[in-house]
């Protein structure tokens, strides 16, 4: 199946009280692992690409080519959206041009009026081209590609203002943080989430910083309107751990010599297992 935008999968997730996982991709191995797992579990999936990962993978056009090629060569039948993660205004336009099926415009660091105006323009472009668009209100904590947010809670009225522009999905800060949560993290603000959901109605809400949020908090967030959950760091951690174990066991020196395909295989398997674990918790298995 060719790439789809994320609208239908998220509308179904919101109505069915589960969440679709956005798993960030950083190379060919991660992409293949995520697609194969989604297909095996019959789960819809969103491939997230940060601007930094976009540069690393030789630009957005290369990524579109790689993903489209894999959808065909791997006979992927489940819905897959290719989504820009935390896009700048310029990055969003480049991804639209390159053939992404979905974009995020993160205008949360602008004054709300500027976030509103820029989001509005991009909503118009996405509507015309049949793409989905995610907007953000209230910055997410931690660091993502050098952008540091303080993990503030979004203002529900500002969320409504941006939701009413016709975005497909809305990321709203509720105390979530990118990366590993510090020991003194107070947890998600369900009061804020509840208030945002009350103001935005059927709008699918997005939870960033999916790494390390306890399962019971994930389930509660889904019950309060979260329909998309982003995971990146947890995949990085298991990939690094599996690769390190392979090298420490001296396996990279066995046989005919160094083979990058063998070196990256344990990490790729670890990503498959992590994606499966997350899809089960999010409830998206069998929902394709």
Catalytic residue list contains 85: yes
Among 211, 227, 243, 268, binds ligand 13P (CB under 6 A): 211
Nearest approach, Cβ of 92 to ligand 13P (angstroms)?
Answer: 14
Write down the catalytic residue from 85, 155, 215, 216.
85
Among 54, 138, 204, 209, binds ligand 13P (CB under 6 A): 209
DSSP state, residue 154: P
3-state secondary structure of 96: helix
**Binding segment toward ligand 13P, per CB under 6 A, in 90-98, 225-233, 262-270, 274-282:** 225-233
- Helix ranges restricted to H, 141-185: 156-163
**Binding segment toward ligand 13P, per CB under 6 A, in 74-82, 126-134, 145-153, 227-235:** 227-235
Residues of this chain, 65-124, that bind ligand 13P according to CB under 6 A: 85-86
Binding status of residue 134 toward ligand 13P by CB under 6 A: no
Binding status of residue 278 toward ligand 13P by CB under 6 A: no
Among 26, 139, 189, 230, binds ligand 13P (CB under 6 A): 230
Nearest approach, Cβ of 105 to ligand 13P (angstroms)?
Answer: 13
In the numeric block, the tokens 């899809």 are attached to 279
Give the orientation angle of helix 89-98 with respect to helix 112-129, to 10 degrees. 10
Binding residues for ligand 13P, rule CB under 6 A, total 15
Residues of this chain, 162-201, that bind ligand 13P according to CB under 6 A: 178-179
Q: How is residue 189 written in tokens? A: 């603000």
**Binding segment toward ligand 13P, per CB under 6 A, in 94-102, 117-125, 209-217, 251-259:** 209-217
CA angle 220/200/48 to nearest 5° reads 65
Nearest approach, Cβ of 235 to ligand 13P (angstroms)?
Answer: 8
Phi, psi (5° rounding) for residue 5? -80, 175
Nearest approach, Cβ of 176 to ligand 13P (angstroms)?
Answer: 8
Among 24, 26, 192, 197, binds ligand 13P (CB under 6 A): 24
Nearest approach, Cβ of 231 to ligand 13P (angstroms)?
Answer: 5
What is the widest separation between alpha-carbon atoms in the chain? Answer: 62
**Binding segment toward ligand 13P, per CB under 6 A, in 91-99, 205-213, 215-223, 237-245:** 205-213
Which residues are at the interface with ligand 13P (CB under 6 A)?
24, 48, 85-86, 178-179, 208-211, 230-234
Residues with a catalytic annotation lie at: 85
């Amino acid at each position: 199946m060719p790439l789809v935008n994320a609208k239908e999968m998220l509308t179904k997730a919101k109505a069915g009280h589960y969440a679709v996982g956005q798993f960030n991709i950083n190379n060919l191995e991660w992409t293949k692992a995520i697609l194969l797992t989604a297909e095996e579990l019959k789960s819809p999936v969103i491939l997230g690409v940060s601007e930094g990962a976009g540069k690393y993978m030789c630009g957005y056009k290369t990524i579109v080519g790689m993903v489209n090629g894999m959808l065909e060569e791997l006979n992927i039948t489940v819905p897959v959206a290719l989504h820009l993660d935390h896009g700048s205004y310029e990055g969003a336009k480049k991804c639209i041009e390159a053939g992404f099926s979905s974009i995020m415009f993160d205008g949360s660091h602008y004054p709300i009026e500027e976030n509103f105006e820029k989001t509005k323009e991009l909503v118009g472009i996405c509507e015309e081209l049949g793409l989905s668009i995610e907007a953000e209100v209230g910055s997410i904590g931690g660091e993502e590609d050098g952008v540091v947010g303080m993990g503030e809670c979004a203002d529900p009225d500002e969320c409504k203002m941006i939701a009413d522009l016709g975005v497909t999905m809305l990321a709203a800060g509720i105390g979530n943080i990118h990366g590993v949560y510090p020991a003194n993290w107070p947890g998600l603000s369900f009061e804020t989430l509840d208030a945002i959901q009350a103001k935005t109605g059927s709008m699918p809400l997005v939870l960033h910083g999916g790494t390390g949020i306890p399962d019971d908090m994930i389930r509660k967030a889904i019950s309060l309107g979260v329909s998309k959950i982003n995971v990146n760091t947890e995949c990085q951690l298991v990939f690094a751990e599996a690769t390190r174990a392979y090298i420490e066991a001296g396996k990279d020196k066995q046989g005919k010599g160094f083979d990058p395909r063998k070196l990256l295989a344990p990490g790729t398997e670890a990503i498959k297992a992590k994606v499966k674990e997350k899809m089960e918790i999010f409830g998206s298995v069998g929902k394709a």
